[in-house]
């Protein structure tokens, strides 16, 4: 996992005027490494709005906190001044994972229990390299993808990606789906596995790029868009692998994918993405990745007269560009969207079922008369636990401890 990807902040909460440097400030920070939330407490002077200063502050000592710590207090210099294990300080959200018995679309999928997965590495936020042995004792190295956050969009994306991957026909340029991962107590769906491809992504600028890979990518996009009615919507070098066994390009990470008009986003069509991806692959110029998708146009790169080559290629840049331009011409026709919407083998699946856990009422507060205010819906994990609801726990030791343990075993 890249250090810059480890933490994200949910922002700053001020108990008074945000412009007053003495105002008490709380910041909830999610740690993708340890899969837990820590509340960082200080003042507005240290944590001004929208600057996320709490991330570098927590990063200084995150690996050294006890697993029981829910909150930390820091002084004006960002140094640790106190810790709290009070569960009332814990704002970790409750994630009501869907029981697999309620997921009719997954009934034909192979499953693997979470306890059977052996962690080998942490590849990125929500993605581990894992190992398990199947029913016949055969070991499998897999990428385990999971969502530990109770964000409606993330939960919806996880559901759609899982159903999409299990429905895709086998294809030589798509990372194969493997199994649904369920937790051990109530068999709730907490993620899925795909085959692990060790070849690395094309985000590595030292990997030479082949003309045949561009051909494979455009053919794959045509198949997804015009045959299955699927729009990947996130084609980029970081989502393209090279299979060392077949030497073919492989597309993965379908969490932004649309099926038909469902979740289709402006400016994220796959044809435009292929153009920007090829430009980046040839030039190693990533300046356009910072531009919002809805502001990107093909002319931005296609009208650049000369694409400076900064990567090893097996063919002249002109061959890549000529092929790309011819393909774009065939795809950017007036009826392309209609062809996508009316794809002959369009994949569909239902929306994620409502999880009954959120129907359990809990006390949100009290009225001015002291009467309890009851509500349903999302809640903190501590509240769900008070209500006797089952809570799957993701917390784990920091990666640095696993490395130290591994090194100790080799000595």
Query: What would the pLDDT profile of 223-244 be if each residue is shown by its tens digit?
Result: 999 999 999 999 999 999 999 9
Question: pLDDT of 76-109, one tens digit each?
Answer: 999 999 999 999 999 999 999 999 999 999 999 9
234 neighbors 263 (Cβ within 8 angstroms): no
Q: Is the pLDDT of residue 405 over 70?
A: no
Lowest mean per-residue pLDDT among 88-92, 216-220, 332-336, 359-363: 332-336
Q: State the DSSP code for 258.
A: E
Nearest of 86, 78, 6, 67 to residue 40 by alpha carbon:
78
For residues 341 and 261, the answer to whether their CB atoms sit within 8 Å is yes
Given this model, what pLDDT does residue 33 score?
98
- Is the per-residue pLDDT at 410 higher than 60? no
Distance CA(258)–CA(131), nearest Å, equals 30
52 has a pLDDT exceeding 80: yes
Checking if the pLDDT of 408 tops 70, the result is no
Q: Say yes or no to pLDDT of 411 above 90.
A: no
Q: Quick one: pLDDT band at residue 143, thresholds 50, 70, 90?
A: very high
pTM: 0.94
Residue 409 has pLDDT above 70, yes or no: no
Model confidence over 201-227: pLDDT tens digits? 999 999 999 999 999 999 999 999 999
CA–CA separation, 53 and 45 (whole Å): 10
What is the pLDDT at residue 146? 98
Matching residue, tokens 């969207």: 337
Q: How confident is the model at residue 312 (pLDDT cuts 50, 70, 90)?
A: very high
Q: Return the CATH number of 211-341, one of 3.40.50.10440, 1.10.510.10, 3.40.50.970, 1.20.1560.10.
A: 1.10.510.10
Number of H helices, E strands in the chain: 9, 17
Instruction: Let me know if the fold of 100-195 is the same as that of 211-341.
Output: no
Q: How far apart are CA 339 and CA 342, in angstroms?
A: 5
At 59-77, the pLDDT tens digits run 999 999 999 999 999 999 9
Name the average pLDDT for the chain. 95
What share of the chain in percent tops pLDDT 90? 92
Question: Where along the chain do its domains lie?
Answer: 3-89, 100-195, 211-341
Look at 323-327, 358-362, 398-402 and tell me which has the smallest mean pLDDT.
398-402
Q: What are phi and psi of 347, to 5 degrees?
A: -85, 135
* pLDDT tens readout for residues 241-252: 999 999 999 999
**What band does 333 get if pLDDT is binned at 50, 70 and 90?**
confident
pLDDT for residue 393 is more than 90:
yes
Work out the widest C-alpha separation in the chain, in whole angstroms.
78
In 222-369, which ranges are E strands? 230-231, 240-242, 249-251, 258-259, 362-366
User: What is the pLDDT confidence band of residue 404, given thresholds at 50, 70 and 90?
Assistant: low
CATH topology of domain 100-195: Phosphorylase Kinase; domain 1 (3.30.200)
């Amino acid at each position: 996992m890249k250090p810059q990807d480890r933490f994200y902040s949910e922002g700053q909460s001020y108990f008074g005027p945000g412009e007053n440097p003495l105002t008490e400030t709380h910041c909830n920070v999610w740690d993708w490494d340890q899969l837990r939330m820590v509340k960082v407490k200080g003042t507005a002077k240290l944590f001004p709005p929208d600057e996320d200063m709490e991330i570098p502050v927590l990063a200084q000592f995150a690996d050294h906190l006890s697993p029981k710590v829910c909150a930390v207090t820091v002084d004006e210099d960002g140094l640790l001044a106190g810790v709290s294990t009070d569960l009332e300080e814990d704002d970790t959200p409750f994630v009501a994972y869907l029981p697999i018995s309620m997921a009719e679309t997954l009934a034909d999928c192979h499953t693997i229990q979470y306890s059977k997965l052996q962690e080998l590495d942490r590849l990125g936020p929500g993605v581990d390299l894992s190992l398990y042995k199947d029913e016949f004792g055969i070991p499998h190295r897999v990428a385990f993808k999971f969502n530990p956050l109770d964000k409606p969009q993330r939960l919806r994306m996880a559901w759609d990606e899982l159903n999409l991957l299990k429905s895709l026909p086998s294809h030589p340029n798509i990372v194969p789906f493997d199994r649904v991962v369920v937790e051990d107590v109530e068999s709730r769906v907490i993620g899925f596995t795909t085959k692990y491809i060790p070849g690395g992504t094309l985000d590595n600028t030292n990997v030479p790029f082949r003309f045949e890979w561009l051909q494979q990518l455009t053919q794959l996009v045509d198949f997804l868009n015009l045959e299955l009615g699927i729009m990947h919507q996130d084609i980029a070098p970081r989502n393209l692998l090279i299979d060392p066994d077949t030497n073919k390009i492989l597309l993965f990470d379908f969490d932004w994918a649309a099926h038909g008009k469902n979740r289709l986003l402006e400016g994220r069509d796959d044809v435009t993405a292929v153009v920007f991806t090829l430009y980046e692959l040839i030039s190693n110029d990533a300046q356009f990745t910072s531009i919002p998708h809805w502001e990107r146009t093909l002319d931005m790169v296609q009208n650049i007269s000369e694409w400076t080559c900064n990567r090893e290629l097996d063919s002249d840049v002109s061959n890549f560009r000529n092929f790309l331009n011819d393909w774009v011409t065939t795809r950017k026709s007036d009826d392309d969207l209609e062809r996508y919407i009316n794809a002959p083998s369009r994949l569909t699946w239902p929306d994620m079922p409502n999880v009954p856990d959120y129907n359990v009422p809990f006390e949100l507060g009290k009225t001015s008369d002291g009467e309890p205010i009851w509500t349903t819906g999302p809640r903190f994990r501590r509240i769900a636990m008070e209500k006797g609801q089952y809570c799957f726990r993701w917390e784990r030791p920091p990666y640095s401890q696993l490395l130290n343990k591994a090194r100790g075993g080799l000595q």
